Structure 1
Amino acid sequence: MGSTPLFAGDEINTIVLNSTRSEIEQNFDCGHEIIHLSKHREENGGIFRCFEEAQNSFLEWEANEGSAQLIVPYQDFIPRFVHAAFVSPTCDTFMVPELLATYYHVSPRVVEIRMDSLSYEIDQYRCGVPVEKLELLSRRQQQKRGIRASCYSAKCAFSLDWDSAIG
């Protein structure tokens, strides 16, 4: 996998996408670089090469999370996921990541990562908390509080019993 450079300029910014990556990978890559532009402009002299060895892991995590929120916003994703996985009688649980990946124009892996990173919030929503009232916690904050969220990607992959998905 080659680098996807970003050059933050005074008047013109340039994002170079790797043509060997698929359109859906480029979609996520572009979102990732947009987050670098908006949040990390002053870092690295305004130049980012996201697939190089020497990079700031926090900045890369933040750009990945920001791209995910930009393209697959939790406010839309959580209700859509819950409907596909728990409400829709025609949706096979194996197909939920594929179905949502097609909808958001991302890879199934992005959907699986989103399912995992939002599992605590999905649990809350399934328990009746409205999306606008969800408590958003990082994995570290959840660990500090002793919260064990469901693993929805495993439940989809192995078609586990959805009725025991919370708790």
Structure 2
Amino acid sequence: MGWIDLADEIRPESVALIQFLKQQQITTILLSGDRKAACDSLASQLKIDKVYSEQSPAQKLEIIGSLTAESPTAMVGDGINDAPALAKATIGISLSDASQIAVQTAEVVLMNHGLKNLPLALGLGKHTYLTIQQNLFWALIYNVAAIPIAAMGFLSPSFSALAMGLSDVVLAINSVRLNFKKVA
């Protein structure tokens, strides 16, 4: 008589990741096709806010759809059953060692170190979005101010061209700052 005990292991970086998400005031949800007892145990160990267990791919899709309608939603998934919900989420995140369809469906694929790089990816995304907003603001301000001044003849064409070039340089420098920001 023999005994084989199979169990999923919690990724070592999962505890730190959930703590990071909570510090960022991000609600954590476990959405799984696994049995309720297993999901509840995992959620308890990781201190996950809400659990949806024993969900089919269609139910996962419906839940992600309703969550996304309320606020931006990120979903991390690695299986075939996660692919439709990954596509429906505001941003789908998969791991490089996930099923091929999950990798193809996700907008972000975390390479090498699994979930360890998720805080970095979230921070980089946030700072990129803020930089885009800043660049759009400064470009709009420049165009609203400089184009009418140049059109009325208060600036010479050569000075207008120089000012336009300088505004592009300012926006490029603002974007390059992303390389030096501490994001996570």
Q: After TM superposition, is the score higher than 0.5? A: no
Greater Rg over alpha carbons, structure: 2
Would you tell me which structure has more strand in proportion to its own residues? 2
With a CA cutoff of 8 Å and minimum separation of 6, indicate the structure with the bigger relative contact order: 1
TM-score, normalisation: structure 2:
0.23
